[in-house]
Copies of this chain bind each other. A is one copy, B any other.
Amino acid sequence: MQTFREHRWKSFLENYQNRARLLISCPDKPGIVAAVTSFLYEQGANIVESSQYSTDPEGGTFFLRIEFDCPQIAVRKQEIESAFQPIAESLQMDWRLRLHNDVKRIAIFVSKAEHCLLELLWQWQAGELIADIALVISNHEHLRNTVESMDIPYFHIPVTKETKAEAEQKQIELLKKYEVDTIVLARYMQILSPSFVAEFPGRIINIHHSFLPAFVGARPYERAYERGVKLIGATSHYVTDDLDEGPIIEQDVARVDHRHHPEDLKRIGRIIEKTVLARALKWHLEDRVIIHGNKTIVFY
């Protein structure tokens, strides 16, 4: 199967050798789009997708994501960045230029429930999740075979109240050693400490098993059952120090009724959870998600 996946990836990467994305945020004022697109034109780029958003045309923040094809972009990247620097400075831009084929390296954290992990692994095998899965970290041992059979390193790091700080230290070392860009909490049931979160700002994605802000915290399906809601949901969000309060990337729901016990809600919820997480991660990996305060702008 490995060969199958590799074959798909090879053809995928070859199709987009000239593709790159420019990501910009800056104070809104007239002329930004003109300045950026004129620059890209001079560089020989052809814009294939462009998205923009302004919080307020007067005095707000302006966000721009442009995807373009430009011959030789891989070798010319640094040259283009230097040429863009003066424009960026004059317009007070935060900006990044990213190559399409510069695939992000991710770590997946998992506990007992395997459905989110398995969905990501399946999409990765199928060539639908374009990321390097650098490693999987779990506070349990039982998913080792599944993960290692795909040639992905698996690390079992148990966590108790007493060993939490130490465990997180080990995790951070691994994440650095494996040069991880993004951490995916695929139903990882440990709360990360503020110092851990501070190491990866805007780079930890969680799936919460409720339609936030309903049922913040533990046991959401049990509480949904007790409240008698007619829809249950899942929420993928960036992790911040405020539990379940980070910027929401994506949410979805499914219909339930009085016959569903908490176990049924969990079963139905698993389908939503894995789907929502995979969708949010895909957008993140394609640099389509911009964090602005405690909200996200998603250019999908």
Contact = CB atoms under 8 A, between A and B. Distances in A.
A214 interface: yes
Interface string A249-262: 11111000111000
A298 B50 CA distance: 15
Given A53-B258, A213-B214, A257-B298, 11 more contacts: A1-B142, A30-B46, A48-B54, A49-B52, A50-B52, A126-B270, A214-B214, A227-B294, A230-B298, A231-B233, A258-B297
Contact of A271 (B54, B143, B231, B275): B275
Interface stretch (A33-41, A75-83, A157-165, A195-203): A33-41
Contact of A114 (B50, B126, B270): B126
Given A4-B142, A126-B115, A227-B248, A37 B33 contact: yes
A234 to B, nearest CB: 11
Chain A contact surface mostly: mixed
A47 B62 CA distance: 10
Given A33-B37, A214-B212, A271-B275, A228 B53 contact: no
A66 to B, nearest CB: 9
B247 A228 contact: yes
Tallying the copies of this chain within the complex gives: 4
A186 to B, nearest CB: 14
B52 A41 contact: no
Shortest Cβ-Cβ A-B pairs, 9 listed: A228-B295, A34-B37, A214-B214, A34-B38, A34-B41, A31-B41, A33-B37, A258-B297, A230-B251
B213 A145 contact: no
A203 B114 CA distance: 31
B233 A294 contact: no
Given A228-B247, A250-B230, A258 B298 contact: yes
A267 interface: yes
